[in-house]
Amino acid sequence: MNISIIDEVIEQLRTMPQHLQWQVLEFARILAKTQVQGTPGQELLRFAGSIPSDDLQLMREAIEQGCEQVDTNEW
């Protein structure tokens, strides 16, 4: 079964109450006006290799020490 995204959205909208349909419409309008922000990756390639390897090693170690731990009380 190959349903297009538009058809799937329409199918979902048909089952929603009208106030939710309005919310979906407003959200779609906002998304349509949204502009992509940021810098394309191609433009960032000129920075490749610009961080000294010693600094990269320090960053790697800091990440491993700080990110590989689970705090079960965090949530």
Domain coordinates in residue numbering, the chain: 1-32
For the entire predicted model, the pTM comes to 0.47
Measure the CA–CA gap between 7 and 55, rounded to whole angstroms: 51
pLDDT at 38 over 70: yes
More confident residue, 36 or 50: 50
Q: How far is CA 72 from CA 25, 46, 69, 75, in A?
A: 40, 41, 9, 7
Supply the pLDDT for residue 62: 87
pLDDT tens digits, one per residue of 39-73: 999 999 999 999 999 999 999 998 888 776 677 77
Return mean pLDDT, the chain: 89
